[in-house]
């Protein structure tokens, strides 16, 4: 994923102010300046984490019942297991090992394999989306997605993507543990480990010029799945699409995304608040280009849960320094429980707003 090119450049400029006492004002101004569709008050000092003023009031269910369970230590072990295979770009032997690893953890579950060949700027590659389906007694599906590939090794041959792809893929494996073995009292939940999210050509993140339009050279797997589910009618049944990406950073600060559905982001924030984790959410607002876009385009309410600030000035992103020592089990637990609580709130809302 990436931010829109213009946003990324200006984030760099905003970060240049980080050592000045104006940091908070600079970041708030940055957030407002680039959230024109959803935050028209560009000079507002309102913190970015507050409920979106343009959203209709949400009919939220009462906050009762025990908090969801999520084993952060077990999820961290899954990250370590996947990273041990090494870089996992499309078409590599390591990629196949990670596919097999994910499938081995889903034995006995209802799994759909969506396999196709992607025609990319650097050749044709096999792509493998893995979908695990956990049934509910309510009509409709909530999708939780994460990509598991690392980018094509034109940039960094030792890049293992512990946070970028590893953390969220591990999180989904632990979600599967929590969902397995019972019919949910709510919507069906489908977990999607999507493939080929990363651009195959350098996208400028390592200092190279933009050689390709990112959206034409990335998101191959999720785009294929969205097209397939549109053709067979599944898209109409998807009530919400929750994306997790780069959520393992031990300094967890999940951004509010202006390319996500405002009311669904508000539900995520409500879930975080109910669990006492709101300080990790939405202190900054960015516009992300990520795996949620093909579903947004098809009218599915979507939310990208992403912490795009990975190390000071994003120094670990897409570098060999994206390793497990930068992550924490607590961050995985925070994101995992907030996703489960978000699903529980959606299950119990009398009516979900349209996109
Ligand atoms: Zn990436």
Structure confidence at residue 281 as a pLDDT band (50, 70, 90): very high
Q: How far is the CA of 205 from the centre of ligand 1 (A)?
A: 9
Q: Could you tell me which residues are beta bridge partners of residue 98? A: none
Determine, yes or no, domain membership for 354. Answer: no
Neighbours of ion ligand 1 (CB under 5 A): 164
Q: pLDDT band for 67, please (50, 70, 90 cuts).
A: very high
- Ligand 1 centre and the CA of 56: distance in Å? 33
pLDDT digits (tens, 9 = 90+) for 217-262: 899 999 999 999 999 999 999 999 999 999 999 999 999 999 999 9
Residue 137 C-alpha to ligand 1 middle, in angstroms?
A: 36
- pLDDT of 323 reads 96
Sign of CA dihedral 316, 317, 321, 323: positive
**How many whole angstroms from 334 Cα to the centroid of ligand 1?**
21
Ligand 1 center from residue 276 Cα (angstroms): 29
pLDDT of residue 199: 86
Q: What's the gap in Å between 263 CA and the centre of ligand 1?
A: 26
pLDDT value of residue 20: 25
Q: Is 355 inside a domain boundary?
A: no
How far apart are the CA of 150 and the centre of ligand 1, in A? 7
Separation of alpha carbons 129 and 127, rounded Å:
7
Quote the number of domains for the chain: 1
* Spacing, Cα 248 to ligand 1 middle (Å): 13
What gap in Å lies between CA 204 and CA 289, rounded to an integer? 14
Q: How far is the CA of 273 from the centre of ligand 1 (A)?
A: 28
CATH of the domain at 172: 3.40.630.10
Q: How far is the CA of 161 from the centre of ligand 1 (A)?
A: 8
Does residue 335 fall inside a structural domain? yes
In a domain, 353, yes or no: no
Q: Which DSSP category does 67 fall into?
A: P
Residue 249, in any domain of the structure: yes
The token pair that represents 161 in the structure block: 């993507």
Determine the distance separating the centroid of ligand 1 and the alpha carbon of 5, expressed in angstroms: 15
What pLDDT digit, counting tens, does each position of 83-139 carry? Answer: 999 999 999 999 999 999 999 999 999 999 999 999 998 889 999 999 999 999 999
Distance 180 CA to ligand 1 centre (A): 29
Is residue 160 in a domain?
Answer: yes
Q: Indicate whether 256 belongs to any domain.
A: yes
In the reported structure, the alpha carbon of residue 224 is separated from the centroid of ligand 1 by a whole-number distance in angstroms of 18
The CA 151 to ligand 1 mean position distance, Å, reads: 7
Distance 288 CA to ligand 1 centre (A): 12
For residue 238, give the 3-state DSSP assignment: strand
Domain residue limits at 323: 2-348
Residue 51 pLDDT: 56
d(CA 15, CA 26): 9
Kindly state the tokens that stand for 288: 């992300």
pLDDT exceeds 60 at position 207: no
* 153 part of a folded domain: yes
């Amino acid at each position: 994923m990436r931010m829109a090119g213009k946003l990324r450049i200006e984030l760099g400029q905003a970060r240049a102010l980080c050592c000045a006492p104006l940091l908070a004002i600079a970041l708030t101004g940055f957030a407002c300046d680039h959230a024109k569709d959803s935050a028209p008050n560009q000079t507002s000092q309102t913190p970015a984490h507050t409920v979106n003023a343009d959203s209709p009031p949400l009919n939220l269910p009462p906050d009762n019942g025990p908090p969801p369970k999520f084993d952060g230590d077990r999820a961290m072990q899954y990250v370590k297991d996947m990273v041990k295979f090494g870089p996992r770009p499309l078409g590599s032997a390591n990629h196949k090992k990670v596919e097999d690893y994910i499938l081995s953890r889903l034995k006995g579950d209802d799994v759909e394999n969506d396999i196709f060949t992607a025609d990319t700027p650097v050749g044709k590659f096999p792509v493998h989306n893995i979908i695990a389906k956990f049934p509910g007694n309510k009509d409709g599906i909530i999708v939780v997605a994460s990509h598991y590939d690392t980018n094509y090794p034109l940039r960094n041959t030792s890049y293992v993507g512990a946070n970028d792809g590893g953390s969220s893929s591990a999180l989904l494996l632990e979600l599967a543990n929590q969902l397995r073995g019972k019919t949910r009292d709510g919507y069906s939940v489908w977990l999607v480990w999507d493939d080929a999210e990363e651009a195959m050509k350098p996208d400028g993140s390592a200092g190279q010029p933009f050689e390709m339009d990112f959206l034409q050279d990335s998101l191959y797997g999720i785009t294929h799945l969205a097209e397939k589910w549109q053709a067979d009618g599944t898209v109409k049944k998807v009530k919400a699409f929750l994306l997790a990406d780069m959520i393992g950073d031990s300094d967890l600060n999940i951004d509010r995304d202006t390319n996500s559905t405002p009311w669904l982001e508000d539900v995520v924030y409500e879930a975080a608040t109910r669990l006492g984790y709101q300080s990790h959410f939405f202190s900054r607002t960015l516009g992300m280009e990520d795996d949620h876009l093909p579903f947004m385009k098809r009218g599915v309410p979507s939310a990208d849960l992403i912490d795009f600030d990975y190390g000071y000035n994003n120094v670990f992103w897409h570098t060999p320094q994206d390793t497990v020592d930068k992550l924490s089990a607590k961050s995985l637990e925070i994101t995992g429980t907030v996703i489960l609580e978000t699903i529980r709130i959606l299950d119990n809302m009398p009516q979900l707003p349209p996109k």
